[in-house]
Structure 1
Amino acid sequence: MEMVQGNMLLAYALIAVITLVVLIAKFKMNPFIVLIVVSVILGAAVGMPMDTIVKSYEKGVGGALGHIALVVGLGTMFGKMMAESGAAERIANTLIGAFGQKNVHWAMMVVALIVGLPVFFEVGFVLLIPIAFNVAKRTGTNMILVGIPMVAGLSVVHGLIPPHPAALYAVTAYNADIGRTIVYALIVGIPTAIIAGPLFARLISKFVFPSPDNPLLAQFVEKDSTRDLPGLGITLATILLPVVLMLLGSWADIFFTPKTFANDFLRLIGNSVIALLIAALVSFYTFGKARGFNREAILKFTTESLAPIAGITLIVGAGAGFGQILKDSGISNAIVGIATSAHLSPLVLGWFVAALIRVATGSATVAMITACGIVAPIVSSVAGTRPELMVLATGAGSLILSHVNDGGFWLVKEYFNMTVTETFKTWTVCETLISVLGLLFTLALSLVV
């Protein structure tokens, strides 16, 4: 069978994406299974040799998980230590005290931006939701006003800022500098979080009022909040440690001559895996032993933390495999060719492709990783495109239009005790604002850097 060429490749790709949406959203099928099945069928349909389809898919899965599985595991252990020690609660209580009760929505955004740095969105959400419940109850505030800034902060960090796995993968795929990526991500992410978080929450909280009869709220508020918490200084130092190490690694050439031991050492500890490993080991003392936990307790926490991430890790790998099929089948080159001939901005292309995959799979992580596989070749073919900005544009696209095929959609709905319609009005609009604003700010930044 001859390979399909030209526009037909794009037609098959579009059919594959629509099929993903229908099977996952309409028929509620498991994304991991659906991604594998659609990938294999797509490869066969466009004429890839039968003996190369599975090899291509495995290459994509292995390439992604070889790095991401390590980052996910270490980051999740780190987050678990934050939860058990009360470190996240310490940050939240301190900032709420500093901001005042009338500005708790601003405080929750700042808390989420800080706490969200080392953890997945879902982990950060679970860490902070008890605090959000307590703040809403104590101040008599609508849960929407407190909760939306929290999820906006977590989502911005999740989609745009390393050391999150998808952002790290994008840094590698686009051959971007991680230090500059972090700096640019903060420049783009902070105003995006402000608009989609506190400002949007202030508006939408006037129209959406979740049912006060929330069993989860009662459960968390009744918990004892008098426990001794770790100090703010040691908490911030531990949480920001991996980011600082990665920045030092990125700037190694500034401090030491390349190829020297000192330079190589900085690059080693600045590697995302090693930085998170060091941070996790440090947290075993600062959030573990120093808080009175023995070795058995720390072992129990870290072991328990790994079980819930198995599904996330597999879906990430499956998405990367789908991206590899798109690449090896020639679909990526077809898209690149059209974009090049149409003089379409690579930043807009990265955002748009990630947005399509996000709507199809429901996963921001899968969307970003898959889009990188499709769009990365264009970076080298278009002069003047900063790879760091490609990371941000792709990340912004991966956050758009969260709906019923996104686990985060249901997480927010259930915890906030909202109806599906209320969740669309709040969470879905918030995510879409982040996506569009992220692209606009990235385009603006591209004019000055």
Structure 2
Amino acid sequence: MSLGLLLFCFVIAVVLIIFMIARLKIHPFLTLMSVSVLLGLFAGVPLANMPGIIGTSFSGIFKSIGIVIIFGALIGAILEHTGAGLKIASVVVGALRNRHPDLAMLIIGWIVGIPVFCDSGFVVLNPVRKAIASRLATSPTALSVALSGGLYASHVFIPPTPGPVAAAGALGLGDSLLLVIILGVVVSVPVLAAVYIFARYVARKDELLPASNEVIFNEFDTAINETKLPSFTLSIAPILVPVLLMALGSISSIAGLGGEFAEVIKFIGNPVIALAFGLILALVLLALQDKFKNLSKLTEDTLKTVGPILFITAAGGVLGGVIKSAGFVDIIKANASALSGAGLVLAFVISAVLKTAQGSSTVAIVTTASILGLYTVDDSMLTILGLGSEMGAALAVLAIGAGAMCVSHANDSYFWVVTSLSGLSTQQGYRTQTAMTLIMGLVGVLSVCLLSVVLL
């Protein structure tokens, strides 16, 4: 098959994915699986090879990141159920002494969004936002922007949120999550700064300034006392301990340490084991609040939530396997010199197109990462684009995440969560949530490209 025809098949496949998900409302799992098979057939993949490609690609995803996603989501669910997120919020607000409420909401959202889905995080923290707006008579819309942006930044950039975890696994970084976390934090800084500036702009334009309402804030304070929130140390430990353990594991590997002690350090620094320790700490938190009896229900609800993400991720792996087998990498090879400097931008553009068209950041991240393939494989798109190293793959994860922000609008569930809970009209949502996510994505990809100049 000619290169032109292969390119045509690829473009049609992307358009079909968008059409089936966005217009026909077909589940992304069924969409990705069916389009993968159709693409393989039309691109000339031998029929005898298709079952093997599907099976190997599908199971490979579960092997690399399945347990990590489940553990991370379960930690987030427990932190939400125990009120640990509210405790973190109250400590941050107290540390800033109510002088920078929008900055407080930004930081709170960013921290809580690391283990908790952004949709759930906004629902949990919305009472905090309303109470602060009422006590300080500040712009509730600006606080919504700050909270939403903080949650969204960690949602697309920082594991163990499922999107970046899935992307890391698809690109071959399943055992190098700490690198993605560190770079995700670095890229988050300019993105959060942009959100803060935009929130301040919204505050000056907002005409919905509330009168000070101590009743609302007092009710919130009473709710905190009644729920007996855990200590800040216990609240933050399930998030920080896995990161520290992964850091120890990475340091041990880099230093080339040997012996039994080094093996133990490497073992506990493995992402699965490190998150298992985080989960144990979360379970301790659950038990101390006499809520351990709710663990079964929490686990069941979490599995229902992450199950579709796992299957969508695995289906995306099938699409990546078909793309590789169909000879699409030959197109990239033929134009490697022209595209090698644009690998990160290409990852951003593909992700942004998918996000804008079908609404789900996770689907956009998974699909784009699957298209790029493993950095450890010489003929993957990622390698041919000049990103065939651990650092290159990590930067690609972040470029994909930046694209998955652009943009949140009416086909995105997060758009409706933010606008409805904030009391915004659809048009106000476009001027705040949609505009903010566009700014975040552009600042994010620019930051990633600047980092690549230094790190690659």
TM-score w.r.t. the length of structure 2 is 0.85
Distance 1:272 1:122, change over 3 A: farther
Q: Distance in 1 between matches of 2:207 and 2:38?
A: 45
Distance 1:253 1:19, change over 3 A: closer
Distance 1:55 1:123, change over 3 A: farther
Q: CA offset at residue 315 of structure 1? A: 2.6
Which amino acid in structure 2 is aligned with residue 154 of structure 1? L
Give the alignment of 1:19-418 within 5 angstroms: 19-175=16-172, 177-195=176-194, 197-207=195-205, 224-227=223-226, 228-254=228-254, 257-258=257-258, 260-285=259-284, 287-293=285-291, 295-376=292-373, 377-381=380-384, 382=386, 386-387=391-392, 388-418=394-424
Q: Distance in 1 between matches of 2:40 and 2:32?
A: 12
Structure 1 gap segments, 5+ residues each:
213-217
Higher mean displacement: 7-16 or 310-319: 310-319
Distance 1:422 1:347, change over 3 A: same
CA contact (8 A) 1:364 1:399 kept: yes
SS at 2:454's partner residue?
Answer: coil
Q: Distance in 2 between matches of 1:415 and 1:333?
A: 49
- Cα deviation 1:159-182 (Å, max 9, x = unaligned): 222233332343344445443333
Distance 1:327 1:402, change over 3 A: farther
CA contact (8 A) 1:210 1:417 kept: no
Higher mean displacement: 383-392 or 347-356: 383-392
CA contact (8 A) 2:89 2:128 kept: yes
Distance 1:254 1:35, change over 3 A: closer
Distance 1:73 1:26, change over 3 A: same
- Cα deviation 1:376-406 (Å, max 9, x = unaligned): 4245443896323222222222222233333
Q: Distance in 2 between matches of 1:370 and 1:168?
A: 13
Q: Distance in 2 between matches of 1:383 and 1:304?
A: 38
Distance 1:49 1:318, change over 3 A: same
Q: CA offset at residue 89 of structure 1? A: 0.6
Give the number of equivalent residue pairs.
436
Q: Distance in 2 between matches of 1:104 and 1:317?
A: 41
Distance 1:343 1:393, change over 3 A: same
CA contact (8 A) 1:163 1:272 kept: no
Which amino acid in structure 2 is aligned with residue 42 of structure 1? L
Higher mean displacement: 399-408 or 429-438: 399-408
1:215 counterpart residue number? none
SS at 2:335's partner residue?
Answer: helix
Q: Distance in 1 between matches of 2:322 and 2:435?
A: 32
Q: CA offset at residue 288 of structure 1? A: 1.3
Structure 2 gap segments, 5+ residues each:
211-215, 374-379
SS at 2:100's partner residue?
Answer: helix
Q: Distance in 1 between matches of 2:163 and 2:331?
A: 24
Q: Distance in 2 between matches of 1:317 and 1:410?
A: 27
Q: CA offset at residue 284 of structure 1? A: 0.8
Which amino acid in structure 2 is aligned with residue 199 of structure 1? I
Distance 1:353 1:438, change over 3 A: same
- Cα deviation 1:235-275 (Å, max 9, x = unaligned): 222321111122222222356614x3222222222222221
Cα RMSD between the aligned structures? Answer: 2.9
- Cα deviation 1:48-72 (Å, max 9, x = unaligned): 2234335433433322233433223
CA contact (8 A) 2:133 2:143 kept: yes
TM-score w.r.t. the length of structure 1 is 0.87
Distance 1:402 1:14, change over 3 A: farther
